Structure 1
Amino acid sequence: MADIVVIGAGQAGASLIARLRKDGFDGSIALIGEEPSPPYQRPPLSKAYLLGEMELERLYLRPHHYYQEVGVDLRLGQPAQRIDRDARLVHLDGEAISYDTLVLTTGSVPRRLPDAIGGDLDGVHVVRDLADADAMGPRFGSGARVLIVGGGYIGLEAAAVAARKGLQVTVIEMSERILQRVAAPETSDFFRALHRAHGVDIREGVGLERLLGEGHVTGALLSDGTRIEADFVIVGVGIAPCTGLAEAAGLEIDNGIKVDAEGRTSDPAIWAAGDCASFPYNGVRLRLESVPNAIDMAECVAGNIMGAGKGYVPQPWFWSDQYDVKLQMAGLNLGYDRVVSRPGSDARSASFWYYRGDDLLAVDAMNEPRAYMVGKRLIDAGKSPPAAAVADPGTDLKSLLR
């Protein structure tokens, strides 16, 4: 028996239990994770960890002894099998844990290539968890040929690591441009030029027909009829919310586990937070895939479990590290109709400001921390500076905050 059972030992689950204890919750808590490792950071898996610049221990969000010290029953390597809502039981392999309150922080899962086009070949990888990074790490030897399927942030981060390690890198993106789903053409142009300057072969508007090889991947046939050779493949074609348990339990699903403004699912005894949850926002349902959202939403839900009654209002921000460029993003660019470009201090820096009419929606800042900071503060405050002032390199950005 546990007063609160949390399924999903990732960033959201770890943040939720920490906030519960910080806010004085003294009941019993069980945290169930399907991986054998305690909660850890995922973003470095495709960056510093894959480069060998971050050790395993530094990935962990908390030292292992923390969970015992705060009285959390940490169940690792024990994936939840089923939720019995009537009996309020979570079934594990050979055991069931009862709950008063259940929280789903199940995260998301990477989309994989179908077996019919070679997705089951050895040497085909995704980047989502520690096991994925450990499996592909030994393949990053200088001179190896890697094909990256998908020109989103995960694919481009992996491409940057591979190029830095001396691999021959090809990125294919079936859309017209890389980052098309998440960024403006200006941001796509910036990162295309950056990767090509590092020798990466980027092919846009080209899909994957099938992978080649018997047992192990040896190459690929592309939709334009060309063939390329590859020693291994990294698939970065997006992620999907992990909703299987919730759906099987009869909870409402709408682009993720459907929750209300406070984080409750269609069952008042069950809450959800993080990548797996979709919540109401400005008249639509939104699901955010980011570490800040996982932390902020989980902490909000923790407070609401304890009676805060506070609606979740996201203040989105994201980041990506590629080569010596740090991209920082603030806001949501949904519905933008123009982009205002502001030059940076050198060729490796710039910022792009997304507007809908006269309203500032979001900012992409490459090696421009001041532009990011000012943009985020403006967006969080609901302020929109004149586009002409933003575009003028003579404008002191801090003056826009007045």
Structure 2
Amino acid sequence: MPSVHIIGGGVAGYTLARELVQKNYTGTISISDSQGLPYDRPPLSKSLQVEPFAPIAWYVEHGISLFQEDVQELALPTTEDDWIVLATGTTPTLLQVPGAQYAHTLHTAADATALAQVLDSAMFGVQVIVIGAGLIGAEFASTASMFGAQVTLISNSNAPLAPVLGQQLAEQLHADHAQRGIKTITGTVNSIGADHVVVDGERLEAALIVSAIGVEPETTLASNLGLSVEDGIVVDAQQRSISHRQVLAIGDAARVQGEPRAVHWEAAMEDAAQAAATIMDAAPVQRSVPWFWTDRHEMHVETVGEFSKVATTITRENRRGKLQTVFGLDEHGTLVAASMVDGGLMAKAVKRLIARGITPSIEQLEDPSVGPRVLGRDAR
């Protein structure tokens, strides 16, 4: 009988299983993951919550086998009816300083549960240091602050998310931490102890230290299988490994040959949809404009498009005089990106505009009275 063996229970792995069920795949489906029941990753840093995608009953109903195991090696498929799909995700980038072992990471359900227990049991105002102010670091700092901790956030930049949000909004969001009671420090970590961090020679006391300096694609199994690996498991447009036609790779661990690796939730879902199409010999999936979101301090932040292509920006402010939306134009004056805080329908409107190659006038982009419905009208 045909089979699909999925390694990894994150959004990519689960979505593939769901897609195959919806497409009435007639073979067997199995998911192997060292953490057991597949669950969503974003809530880990946003709320320290573990949220399974579906109850065990759903997998039983659809005949999907779940295996809680750490797969280090397995036999490659030998027929065109059998597939291995690597949805192995990422692994945390580790600090390379003396005492790095004293820093916790926030990457798995076990990590989130352990950190939540520490914060729940600690006294109000416990000192917490977060190293790294990117997506995970900023979200956890916000969450720890809501738990009542006194948080210090260390970054090597005053605009740590500039490559994905644009310089202006990244600076504003990072500065907003101080208004929420979080101390921010721009500097370099020299060393870590059990109860302190040394930053540019200054010792900072802490009861809890968390490192969130980034992630790397988890490619250990792919390398063990002899697959091509270069900043991810290298695949073609159908998500096939360029080294073996019956091995697919999807999600954060995969990289389409000749393109940068996409590391966000929606891209993982689209990878899974494409993998399902490849397995079912269906039409290729139409990719959407890149989009991702982050939540911090009760603010919802979204980015559409790619700020790496931006040459000039156009901004809108809210009634309090703070940036609310940043539109990015490329060197030809074409709308290619936007980032926004609590933007409502704006992200959908901009996504539609970029997909259809439509750029509103500068006056429309600057005018806060021109809402997303008006901007998106021309893209219908």
Q: In structure 2, do the counterparts of structure 1 residues 290 and 184 end up closer, same or farther at CA, with 3 Å as the change threshold?
A: same
Structure 1 residue 221 corresponds to structure 2 residue 198: yes
Deviation at 1:278, TM superposition (A): 0.6
Cross-structure match for 1:71: 63
CA shift in 2, pair 1:178/1:86, >3 Å: closer
Q: 2:220 aligns with which of 244, 250, 270?
A: 244
Q: Is contact 1:151–1:178 with CA below 8 Å preserved after alignment?
A: yes
Post-superposition Cα deviations, 1:260-314, rounded to whole Å, max 9, x if no partner, equal 111111200111111111115xxx4122212211112101210111102416624
Residue matched to 1:255: 231
Of stretches 347-356 and 60-69 in structure 1, the one that deviates more from structure 2 is: 347-356
Check whether the contact 1:325–1:348 (CA below 8 A) recurs between aligned residues: no
Q: Could you state the TM-score of these two structures normalised by the residue count of structure 1? A: 0.87
For the residues of structure 1 that align with 2:4 and 2:115, how far apart are their CA atoms? 36
**1:81 corresponds to:** 72
- Contact 1:252 1:265 survives alignment (8 Å): yes
Structure 2 equivalent of residue 332 of structure 1: 306
Whether the aligned pair in 2 keeps the contact of 1:328 and 1:365 (CA below 8 Å) is: yes
Partners of 1:8 and 1:86 in 2: CA distance: 18
- Give the conservation status (yes or no) of the 8 Å contact 1:145–1:229: yes
SS of the equivalent of 1:288 reads coil
Q: Which residue of 2 aligns with 1:362?
A: 337
Q: Give distance in 2, aligned partners of 1:154 and 1:387.
A: 34
In structure 2, C-alpha distance between the alignment counterparts of 1:176 and 1:238, rounded to whole Å: 16
Contact persistence 2:316–2:325 (CA under 8 A): yes
Structure 2: runs of 5+ lacking an equivalent: none
Aligned partner of 1:398 in structure 2 is 373
CA offset at residue 87 of structure 1?
6.0
Q: How does 1:1-400 map to 2 (within 5 A)?
A: 3-36=3-36, 38-48=37-47, 50=48, 56=50, 59-76=51-68, 78-85=69-76, 100-114=82-96, 117-121=98-102, 124-140=103-119, 141=122, 142-204=124-186, 206-212=187-193, 217-222=194-199, 224-266=200-242, 267-280=244-257, 284-310=258-284, 313-346=287-320, 350-357=324-331, 358-400=333-375
Deviation for aligned residue 1:30: 1.5
Cα shift at 1:336: 1.2
Corresponding letter in the other structure for 1:276: A
1:333–1:354 Cα contact (<8 Å) kept:
yes
Q: Secondary structure at the match of 1:268?
A: strand
Q: In 1, distance between residues paired with 2:35 and 2:101?
A: 22
The one-letter code sitting in structure 2 at the alignment partner of 1:42 is R
Residues 346-392 of structure 1 show CA distances to partners (whole Å, capped at 9, x for unaligned) of 45760111111211111111012132222122122222222332012
Is there any run of 5+ residues in structure 1 with no aligned partner, and where?
A: 89-98
Residues 134 and 397 of structure 1: CA distance in aligned 2, closer, same or farther (over 3 Å): closer
Give me the whole-angstrom Cα distance separating, in 1, the residues matched to 2:211 and 2:196: 13
Q: How many residues align?
A: 372
**Length-normalised TM-score, structure 2:** 0.92
Partner SS for 2:164: coil
Shift of 1:248: 1.8
Structure 2 match to 1:95: none
For residues 80 and 301 of structure 1, the distance between their equivalents in structure 2, rounded to whole angstroms, comes to: 20
CA distance in 1, matches of 2:322, 2:63: 48
Q: What is the Cα-based RMSD across aligned positions, in Å? A: 2.1
Percent of pairs with identical residues: 28
Deviations 1:123-153, CA, capped at 9 Å, x for gaps: x211111000011112223211111111101
- Contact 1:329–1:372, Cα closer than 8 Å, also in 2: yes
Partner Cα distance (1:61, 1:382) in 2: 35
Q: Secondary structure at the match of 1:172?
A: strand
- Structure 1 pair 345–62 and aligned structure 2 pair: CA distance change class (3 A): farther
